[in-house]
Amino acid sequence: EDQVTQSPEALRLQEGESSSLNCSYTVSGLRGLFWYRQDPGKGPEFLFTLYSAGEEKEKERLKATLTKKESFLHITAPKPEDSATYLCAFSLSGGYNKLIFGAGTRLAVHP
Amino acid sequence: GAVVSQHPSWVICKSGTSVKIECRSLDFQATTMFWYRQFPKQSLMLMATSNEGSKATYEQGVEKDKFLINHASLTLSTLTVTSAHPEDSSFYICSARDPSREKLFFGSGTQLSVL
């Protein structure tokens, strides 16, 4: 069965304390691994798409990496405004089509 | 700015009534839109895929007669929750695929509370 698991469920960091969020998957025929950020009461905001093992993408304090079994979202020197729920999702059908989401990691960054 | 507009942001209704939620792509034509629901502290669960000009494709376990989807134009999809009950209270989110930019954009969501 295709599924994606995110860990930890919740993470509390001090401002400046770097860490990583994990997204492990068992998907046959993965066509894309996506990372989104979601603030309370809002829709998800796109961060990254990764397509092949070894691929890495960066945006400000965030860096996403992909292996054959998992993806990591590294957060370097986080700030309180990075507090949000981070969701990973996969696509089986290629491109930006039907996405299946993990349960998310709720990140809280304290000053 | 937002490229997918979802309306209303929140709605409160009485049990037994129907509620319509709109999802519009503002600056692109979306042949495909998706509807998700999300319970507190849980992830997004795909409900259905909305295809312009044809019937929606529902995920397993989603009642198509209860959650009516209409995608009558390339910029508008609607989700109607019919005969709503308290257990239908949830956060509903739409997304639309922009084929020209190969991106999937999400609406801001609709919080439905059924009394």
- Greater model confidence, B1 or A31: A31
pLDDT at A110 (0 to 100): 96
- Judged by CB atoms closer than 8 Å, whether chains meet at A41 and B49 is answered as no
Cβ neighbours for A22, distance < 8 A, ≥ 6 positions apart: A6, A7, A8, A70, A71, A72
CA distance B17 to chain A (A): 24
**How far does the CA of residue B34 sit from the closest CA of chain A (Å)?**
7
The answer to whether residue B55 neighbours chain A at the CB level (below 8 Å) is: no
Interface of B with A in 10-29 (CB under 8 A): none
Predicted pLDDT at A29: 73
Answer yes or no: is pLDDT of B100 > 90: no
State whether residue B92 sits within 8 Å of chain A by CB: no
Query: Cα–Cα distance between B114 and A41 in angstroms, integer?
Result: 17
pLDDT digits (tens, 9 = 90+) for B47-90: 999 888 888 999 999 999 999 999 888 999 999 999 999 999 99
Amino acid A93: pLDDT: 63
Residue B4 to chain A, least CA–CA distance (Å):
10
d(CA B25, CA A55): 30
Are A44 and B107 an interchain contact pair (Cβ–Cβ within 8 Å)? no
Sequential DSSP letters for A43-105: --EEEEEE-STT-EEEETTEEEEE-SSEEEEEE-S--GGG-EEEEEEEESSSSSS-EEE---E
Tell me the per-residue pLDDT of B3-41, one tens digit each, with 9 for 90 and over.
899 999 999 999 999 999 999 999 889 888 999 999 988
pLDDT class of B1 with cuts at 50, 70, 90? low
List chain A residues with pLDDT less than 70. 93-97
Report yes or no: A23 and A79 within 8 Å, Cβ to Cβ.
no
Q: In this structure, what token pair is assigned to residue A19?
A: 């860490």
Looking at residue B2, its pLDDT comes to: 65
Q: Given this model, what pLDDT does residue B55 score?
A: 87
Does any CB of chain A come closer than 8 Å to the CB of residue B104?
A: yes
How far apart are alpha carbons B20 and B57 in whole angstroms?
18
Instruction: State whether residue B36 is helix, strand or coil.
Output: strand
pLDDT digits (tens, 9 = 90+) for B87-98: 999 999 999 988
- Per-residue confidence (pLDDT) for residue A32, from 0 to 100: 85
Q: Residue B59 corresponds to which tokens in the numbers above? A: 């995920």
Place of tokens 């439905």: B112
Which tokens is A36 given?
């989104």
- Whole-angstrom distance, CA of residue A85 vs CA of residue A41: 11
